[in-house]
Chains A and B, each alone.
Chain A
């Protein structure tokens, strides 16, 4: 452990509520341990604000170990910050230098309205899942787990897609604010598995329609989503989603 400290300047988006006009505010983060995580650095700034009886910066976070998908912000123009395959909570201050200015903004997308400061409303993701991101099996209906054999290569591919944590970085990184990577990952997970087959056609149509309905943009192959994804979900999933969609349109049951 290095045990060094640095001073950085934060320029943070502050917005009182959904309808308020937001603006950047500057804060000095002093004597920050380079071993601190990025969110711990914000904790320090917030402690200072609370001591001055000012409202601290609101940001979503929970597990702080990169799996719950709750945290996220655009750091110097990059979703989740400069370290690849890393959520904001797992980014550490050693990736910054003394004297740096760090610009911090919420995810920007009309389908992710800002709630307050850096916290956004991602319920549109839940509604995409609600449209078809499941297999319609009721509790108790399942046959023995070994009744259906799944080739390892397919199972592994489903797992790759299923690793998505639903953080929304893909949307924030996309110039079109498209949710294609998020939606495609779930469609691919089930398309790879025999259990997902009965609803394969209706699922892709319903989920893509819901994605459009929520106001997310279309994919025009910038691939910024893959670069920003903390779980390294591949754009191949989008190709697969498009293939599934076309297959449904041009073939019959």
Chain B
């Protein structure tokens, strides 16, 4: 049984009590301890900067050319905080409640409550750093509302909130780098975790420019390496986002929790062709005025404007008369897929549905629509080259966030001593579904306000690791990394790495995507190992390992996606209930909605690696709900 180490006491007092009970490292001693932080997104940069300010020696790693490029930068909408500035009834308890419910009762209550508590400090910190949040004419901060909440608690900086928060954390990191307390290692990719006597004490990285394999040791290791959405090949993630750091830690003993929880966003610009590399998200606010439809005739190739009203199927409005086009994300996504699968999809590839503003423009006028959505319409036109004021938009769901991740306890430490995991890379706060504007909140909560406390407690109890880079175990891991790179680079087959990644993505999308069933998942479990074997046999890695080699980088990442994919499918198969973003066709209500099975599945599934080609072992952390009563979500 996994011990989450949730502190005793009433929910609202757990964190306060825990902070008092944790051991401290005295200021003069902190400089004797070193911490490795992998990843420089919101969680990684904020953690690295904060720990350095406290006095720890920090080494910060990222695979990009600068810490400022991390994919947190692409978040658009905003960041939640229970400030209650609008005086509309928000509170820490309400943010906590909304987040637990939004996660479909599959998150750990105590973690979520702490998240809600520290959310208010994040906004203070960011404002002090000079983050230019949107303001009202009186000079005070503006708020807007977001999905899953009935209050306005979202702070934002135009459509670039993630960028501004990341640049804030990046500036704090660079301040500490200037002070000489943080060493920055850019264009370094973590390829393995060093574990000595059960304690994580370092990492092995590849210098992406020189190809050199480097080892770094420290008294604790923090992974803030993001999510695994690119297992689907096409997603809204950046091209470089990958599971390698998390997967390599998993192979060294860290449990992987709830890998089947992925969030699919319903309103993205659809795939345009075989060479598509990336999907772009359009704010779901568009569904307030747009009507979603497909032609009633299969394979109808007429232009949308030529299809008369009676031949249009407004399927959401027909199926969900009370919610219509504003059903939750997962429902909207699943229905779009269903109609496209049946051959009613539109566009050149048939995998898109219309989002039509014709009636809204007729009702409110083009100017009103432009006022509300002008920037989104412009973005659509730039990418698709079609005028959405005249022709309906074409949209399709896309993968954009992963709720699963490495298992962590209340202190954000994995089951491996010393290995801490923050942000999207861990599993803890969003359950089976994340609410909008909560990813930025969690990343910064973990980095600024949780790990600075809990890491101190760990260091105070564990003491120095005392492992240098000459330690035999370090050398042994280095050799394994080099051998693996040699294997990859000696692969001289006939297909490209990307071709295999695309094929893997299709298996995952078709069989472990928006709707899953036992037979598809079992098929995927057959197909993935076959394709993986072919990948290792027949992929072609050009160039040599001793220099800047982007094909080799991708080959390593895809190789890990192949292994990870199998565990993800296994998790989806094992969890025969539907919850949040995980929809099992066998488990739905009479109305076709997600049906949880709380008696059997009210737990975290944490998988233990047992070796190559061996089935992982399942460990369960039971979830107890003290504060929020479990209920069936209903959209009727």
Contact = CB atoms under 8 A, between A and B. Distances in A.
Nearest to A137: B128
Interface stretch (A96-104, A148-156, A245-253): A148-156
A43 B171 contact: no
27 contacts: A1-B384, A16-B547, A39-B277, A50-B496, A50-B497, A51-B494, A53-B492, A56-B550, A58-B550, A63-B74, A64-B277, A129-B170, A130-B174, A130-B175, A130-B178, A134-B174, A135-B129, A139-B172, A139-B449, A143-B124, A146-B85, A150-B135, A151-B139, A152-B135, A159-B132, A162-B157, A163-B163
A220 interface: no
Task: Please provide the 6 A-B residue pairs with the shortest distance between their CB atoms, ordered closest to farther.
Answer: A149-B139, A134-B171, A142-B128, A159-B132, A142-B124, A139-B50
Interface residues of B, number: 86
B446 to A, nearest CB: 12
A19 to B, nearest CB: 12
B49 interface: yes
A158 interface: yes
A1 B277 contact: no
Contacts of B46: 139
A69 B170 CA distance: 14
A175 B53 CA distance: 40
A65 B280 contact: yes
B238 A63 contact: yes
A65 B172 CA distance: 25
A250 B125 CA distance: 33
Interface string A61-77: 11111011110000000
Contact of A62 (B67, B137, B240, B347): B240
Contact of B177 (A130, A144, A193): A130
| Interface hub of A56, A70, A134 (most chain B Cβ within 10 A) | A134
Interface of A: 1-3, 16-17, 33, 35-37, 39-40, 43-44, 47, 49-51, 53-56, 58, 60-65, 67-70, 86, 90, 92, 94, 115-116, 119, 121-123, 125-126, 129-131, 133-146, 148-152, 155-156, 158-159, 162-163, 165-166, 189-190, 193, 195-196
Contacts of B276: 36, 40
B299 interface: no
Contact of B74 (A2, A65, A193): A65
Interface in B35-72: 46, 49-50, 53, 64-69, 71
B411 to A, nearest CB: 18
| Interface hub of B46, B71, B139 (most chain A Cβ within 10 A) | B139
A123 B66 contact: yes
A118 B549 CA distance: 13
B139 A152 contact: yes
Nearest to A146: B140
A50 B551 contact: yes
Nearest to A60: B65
Given A56-B550, A146-B141, A133 B383 contact: no
B543 A64 contact: no
A63 B124 contact: no
Interface in B329-353: 347-348
B548 interface: yes
B636 to A, nearest CB: 36
Given A64-B239, A145-B124, 4 more contacts: A58-B548, A86-B382, A142-B125, A151-B139
B385 A133 contact: no
A7 to B, nearest CB: 15
Contact of A123 (B186, B240, B278, B348): B186
| Interface hub of A17, A43, A61, A62 (most chain B Cβ within 10 A) | A62
B130 interface: yes
Nearest to A167: B69
A36 B40 CA distance: 30
Contacts, number: 221
B283 to A, nearest CB: 13
B296 interface: no
B611 interface: no
Contacts of A115: 209, 548
Interface in B235-260: 236, 238-240
A202 B624 CA distance: 54
Given A49-B542, A131-B178, A143 B128 contact: yes
B545 to A, nearest CB: 13
B385 A129 contact: no
A122 B65 contact: yes
A155 B137 CA distance: 10
A153 B14 CA distance: 42
A44 B550 CA distance: 15
B273 interface: yes
A203 B157 CA distance: 24
Nearest to A69: B69
B275 A67 contact: no
B540 interface: yes
| Interface hub of B133, B136, B175, B449 (most chain A Cβ within 10 A) | B175
A58 B540 CA distance: 16
A142 B127 contact: yes
A36 B382 CA distance: 12
Contacts of A126: 66-68, 174, 184, 186
Contacts of B397: none
A141 B126 CA distance: 11
Contacts of A47: 496, 498-499
A53 B175 CA distance: 44
B620 interface: no
B123 A139 contact: no
Contacts of B137: 152
A137 B130 CA distance: 10
Contact of B64 (A3, A40, A62): A62
Contact of B171 (A54, A62, A133, A163): A133
B277 A40 contact: yes
Interface string B217-246: 000000000000000000010111000000
Given A62-B71, A139-B49, A145 B123 contact: yes
Contacts of B547: 16-17, 116
Contact of A134 (B129, B138, B542, B551): B129
Contact of B132 (A3, A51, A155): A155
B69 A68 contact: yes
Contacts of A67: 73-74, 160, 163
Contact of A189 (B130, B158, B498, B540): B130
Contacts of A36: 272-273, 275-276
Nearest to B394: A1
Contacts of B134: 155, 159
A40 B279 CA distance: 12
A37 to B, nearest CB: 8
Contacts of A43: 275, 277, 498
A63 B235 CA distance: 11
Contacts of B172: 134, 137, 139
A159 B158 contact: yes
B548 A119 contact: yes
Nearest to B385: A94
A193 B543 contact: no
Given A1-B272, A65-B278, A139 B53 contact: yes
A154 to B, nearest CB: 9
A70 to B, nearest CB: 5
Contact of A116 (B85, B170, B273, B548): B548
Contacts of A151: 135, 139
A213 B74 CA distance: 31
A191 to B, nearest CB: 10
B157 A159 contact: yes
B174 A133 contact: yes
A162 B164 contact: yes
